[in-house]
Amino acid sequence: MESECIFCRIVDGEIPAVRVYEDGEHLAFLDTNPRSEGHVLAIPKEHIKTIDELGDEQTAKLFIVVKRIAESLKQKMGVKGYNIVSNNGEIAGQVIPHVHIHIVPRYEGQRSSAGFELAFPVDAKAKRKVEESIEK
């Protein structure tokens, strides 16, 4: 049966992708809109929308795959650091409704060495609440 989901279609081989890791339950491939060289997306093969909908074991296994990819980026590409990002839910900027973890390598001399705080600044009101809770 043909799926509407782009990631399910990649899993099925209907849409080509540069696959960098695959096992029975997971696939990892290069993002076609890379934020840096070696930007990988790791997904469970099962169509599940967000991380909270994964089982505990599925979650653990997916993050072990993420770790393997990070190790591989360090060993094979000499990557020194990386960001791990996952948008969950439309309100959080999730575009494709199939769980995916971005592994974004960072390189010396990149335009910005910032983390994601520039796009996602500190919420002053939330910060005050945390500080108030610590004081209690």
Contact between 62 and Zn ion (CB under 5 A)? no
Q: What are φ and ψ of residue 71, in 5° steps?
A: -60, -45
- Least separation in angstroms between CB 50 and Zn ion: 12
Does 47 qualify as catalytic in the annotation?
no
CB atoms within 10 A of CB 98: 21
Residues in 87-116 at the binding interface with Zn ion, rule: CB under 5 A? 98
Based on the number of CB atoms within 10 Å of its own CB, is 109 exposed (0-12), middle (13-18) or buried (19 or more)?
exposed
Q: Which CB atom, from 30 or from 48, has the smaller least distance to Zn ion?
A: 48
The catalytic position among 26, 39, 100, 102 is: 100
Contact between 61 and Zn ion (CB under 5 A)? no
Cα 19 from Cα 41, distance rounded (Å): 10
Q: Which CB atom, from 99 or from 104, has the smaller least distance to Zn ion?
A: 99
Based on the number of CB atoms within 10 Å of its own CB, is 86 exposed (0-12), middle (13-18) or buried (19 or more)?
middle
Q: Which of 8, 66, 69, 104 binds Zn ion (CB under 5 A)?
A: 8
Q: Which CB atom, from 12 or from 123, has the smaller least distance to Zn ion?
A: 12
| 44: helix, strand or coil | strand
Residues in 28-57 at the binding interface with Zn ion, rule: CB under 5 A? 47
The catalytic residue positions are 100
Residues that bind Zn ion (CB under 5 A): 5, 7-8, 47, 98
